[in-house]
A and B are shown apart, each in its own frame.
Chain A
Amino acid sequence: MKKEPPILTVQNMVVKRGRATVLEIDNLEVTQGRALALIGPNGAGKSTLLLALAGLLPVASGKMMFDARPINDRADIARVRQNAAVVFQEPLLLNDTVYKNVALGLKFRHLSRAQIKASVEEALSQFGISHLASRSAKTLSGGEAKRVSLARSFAIKPKMILLDEAFNSLDPPSREAIMDDLQSILEKTRITAILALHDREETLRLAQDVAVLREGRIVQFGTTAQVFQQPVDECIAEFVGTEAILEGVVQSCNEGLMQIAVNGHIVEAVGCFPVGQKVYCCLRPEQVTVSKATAGQTSARNLYQAVVVKIVRQAFFYKLTLECGFPLSAYITLPSFEELSVAEGTTLEVSFKATAVHVIRREG
């Protein structure tokens, strides 16, 4: 498949606040038509990066290219602003009607009244808020206001849209509905999106690429699958939802299969690190299987007896916390939960494949 060209590239970008360096991005490429999630803990620099990419924060040094042209001066920054729209966490609507709010960016472009009307109506309809056009923006609910702010940004037909934790402060049903709409609009319009997110589910749902930020630097960049399945360190592993992060030491390595000592037990994992290497074994709960007894008849390389320590009911499944000499988590569907008669204190067999274990080198 032909790879789309990057719409935005950043090299050695430094952003300062006063004398302090708050952002140092060595390299970042945002591919045309894809959605990139910026994830990381609070204060990692996600919003700062977003604002710098949108041309809203001064950059101390570095190179940036937008739409195949370098950004050097005020005119270039104005070009970025004309072609990129930011959606902030707060809707930031003006004290005016919904129609006039959505028309705001179009008015800055000195379009004709007919052009403005057509674009506003299209954007309102995209987000299912045509019926709100004449309402005062200050009377809207949180979900409606968010839709208006999204419609306002999409109305200008930007080449790139940047969303700064745009789904925070919304109640779960509104959030779900808005994410659904946004997802389908992004797929349909193929507008490049950069989203600062702090929720794993949102990231998995909306983004094809992920950049993990920590202390103003990108510590991992890759496709969503790469970052979630192969986090480069334990902090990222924890952040992307790897529930079990086990400390271990490599005991042997033969034909690409390692034996790792974890709390007196052996965990088998694919890969090859030197014997004696301290490592983290990362395991996601969806990769752990529980059963009554398999009598060892399984292809999984790792098989243990485990006691159910805690059961937490989620929407459509249970989350089990297990103890098998080391802690593990597993998800189990409602029917399986019934069939296995799971209760706290029950002993079960847990298994996972060697290929499911992601091994990270541990320092010290």
Chain B
Amino acid sequence: MELFAQGIIKAFELLITFDAEVLGITWLSLKISGTATLMSLFIGVSIGTTVALNDFIGKRVVISIINTGMGLPPVVVGLFVTMMIWRSGPFGFLEILYTPYAMIIAQAIIATPIVMGISLAAIQNLPPNLRLQVLSLGASRLQMVWVLVKESRLPLLAAVMAGFGGVISEVGASIMVGGNIKGYSRVLTTATVMETGKGNFDIAIALSIILLLLAFLINFMLTQIQQRQRPR
């Protein structure tokens, strides 16, 4: 118990004193996971909506693949991205291995199927004739898609929360492609793993609490928006 108490005290200490390293790590975590979530939102909603609104051969297989992707193991993504951007890999020329960019790519790959799967389900859950109703009022295809996406904003916010929650808390891929370089690619999860490995439980607990607080604050904000939009 003493270990936990020490950890909590340390966390407050780090927070109250605005520890430069912790603030830097927290800010980088937010930047990387936020950017990855935004990317996944753009790609996931576009593909999810396209799949939901079109009938084609093999649609069920595609949906199954997307749903499987929602549980993509981060280490597998880490391995895949590492190999792709490895010096001799197909995108080695980009020279982004062990950089925040590589972490954003890996995290976006993890979050995209989550956002895609939820937005696909959200669009499919709209009344079947709504699409025709909007078109019959003179909407272009783009206008129709925009109306449907707007109409699915509640589940889409849930998709953002799920996507962000998935990437801010993942560690496997971030360590593999980011390298946990101090002051450059070290984020809350990778720092927590490192401090635990070194036996610095107090700092590890402190970082975990900050991570939890961060995840809570972001989700709290999104929940506020979501619930304000809910029909009463």
Write the residues of chain A forming the contact surface with B, with a CB cutoff of 8 angstroms. 51, 54, 56, 78, 81-82, 84-86, 88, 90, 92, 94-95, 104-105, 108-109, 136, 138-139, 152-153, 156, 162
Partner of B137 from A78, A90, A138, A152 at Cβ < 8 Å: A152
Instruction: Give the residues in chain B near A139, CB-CB below 8 Å.
Output: 231-232
The A-contacting residues of B in range 122-147, CB under 8 angstroms, are 127, 129-130, 132-140, 143, 147
Q: A88-B129, A90-B127 are in contact. Are A56 and B232 (CB under 8 A)?
A: no
A119 to B140, CA, bound (A): 21
Smallest beta-carbon distance A119→chain B, Å: 13
Smallest beta-carbon distance A56→chain B, Å: 5
- Check A108–B143 contact: CB distance below 8 A: yes
A105 to B232, CA, bound (A): 24
Q: A94-B151, A95-B229 are in contact. Are A56 and B137 (CB under 8 A)?
A: no
Smallest beta-carbon distance A225→chain B, Å: 31
A90 to B231, CA, bound (A): 18
A138 to B147, CA, bound (A): 16
- Check A92–B151 contact: CB distance below 8 A: no
Instruction: Give the residues in chain B near A86, CB-CB below 8 Å.
Output: 132-133, 136
Interface size on B, residues (CB 8 A): 19
Besides A90-B129, A92-B133, A104-B134, 9 new A-B residue pairs in contact (Cβ under 8 A), listed by A number: A54-B136, A56-B136, A81-B135, A82-B138, A94-B150, A94-B151, A105-B138, A136-B231, A152-B137
Write the residues of chain B forming the contact surface with A, with a CB cutoff of 8 angstroms. 127, 129-130, 132-140, 143, 147, 150-151, 229, 231-232
A95 to B155, CA, bound (A): 13
Smallest beta-carbon distance A138→chain B, Å: 3
Partner of A92 from B130, B143, B150, B229 at Cβ < 8 Å: B130
Partner of A108 from B132, B133, B137 at Cβ < 8 Å: B137
Closest B residue to A136 by beta carbon equals B231
Closest A residue to B130 by beta carbon equals A92
Closest A residue to B231 by beta carbon equals A138
A152 to B137, CA, bound (A): 8
A85 to B133, CA, bound (A): 8
Across chains A and B, the number of contacting residue pairs, with CB separation under 8 Å, is 55
Instruction: Give the residues in chain B near A138, CB-CB below 8 Å.
Output: 231-232
A98 to B139, CA, bound (A): 19
Smallest beta-carbon distance B112→chain A, Å: 26
Q: A90-B129, A94-B147 are in contact. Are A84 and B136 (CB under 8 A)?
A: yes
Smallest beta-carbon distance B230→chain A, Å: 9
A344 to B92, CA, bound (A): 95
Instruction: Give the residues in chain A near B136, CB-CB below 8 Å.
Output: 54, 56, 81, 84-86, 162
Instruction: Give the residues in chain A near B229, CB-CB below 8 Å.
Output: 95
List of 5 A-B pairs having minimum Cβ-Cβ separation, nearest first: A138-B231, A105-B137, A86-B136, A92-B133, A82-B138
Smallest beta-carbon distance B122→chain A, Å: 12
Most buried by B among A54, A94, A162: A94
- Check B138–A156 contact: CB distance below 8 A: yes
Smallest beta-carbon distance B43→chain A, Å: 25
Instruction: Give the residues in chain A near B147, CB-CB below 8 Å.
Output: 94, 104
Closest A residue to B150 by beta carbon equals A94
Partner of A95 from B129, B133, B140, B231 at Cβ < 8 Å: B231
Smallest beta-carbon distance A215→chain B, Å: 23
Smallest beta-carbon distance B37→chain A, Å: 24
Instruction: Give the residues in chain A near B151, CB-CB below 8 Å.
Output: 94-95
A108 to B143, CA, bound (A): 7
Instruction: Give the residues in chain B near A94, CB-CB below 8 Å.
Output: 147, 150-151
Instruction: Give the residues in chain A near B135, CB-CB below 8 Å.
Output: 56, 81
Smallest beta-carbon distance A98→chain B, Å: 13
Closest A residue to B132 by beta carbon equals A56
Closest A residue to B139 by beta carbon equals A108
11 cross-chain CB contacts under 8 A: A56-B135, A81-B135, A86-B136, A88-B129, A94-B151, A104-B134, A105-B138, A108-B140, A136-B232, A138-B231, A139-B231
- Check A51–B132 contact: CB distance below 8 A: yes
Smallest beta-carbon distance B57→chain A, Å: 12
- Check B232–A85 contact: CB distance below 8 A: no
Most buried by B among A92, A94, A139: A92
A54 to B130, CA, bound (A): 15
Instruction: Give the residues in chain B near A92, CB-CB below 8 Å.
Output: 127, 129-130, 133
- Check B138–A81 contact: CB distance below 8 A: yes
Closest A residue to B152 by beta carbon equals A95
A152 to B140, CA, bound (A): 17
Smallest beta-carbon distance A359→chain B, Å: 42
A156 to B134, CA, bound (A): 12
Smallest beta-carbon distance A278→chain B, Å: 45
Most buried by A among B134, B136, B143, B231: B136
Instruction: Give the residues in chain A near B143, CB-CB below 8 Å.
Output: 108
Instruction: Give the residues in chain B near A109, CB-CB below 8 Å.
Output: 138
Instruction: Give the residues in chain B near A153, CB-CB below 8 Å.
Output: 137
Smallest beta-carbon distance A104→chain B, Å: 6
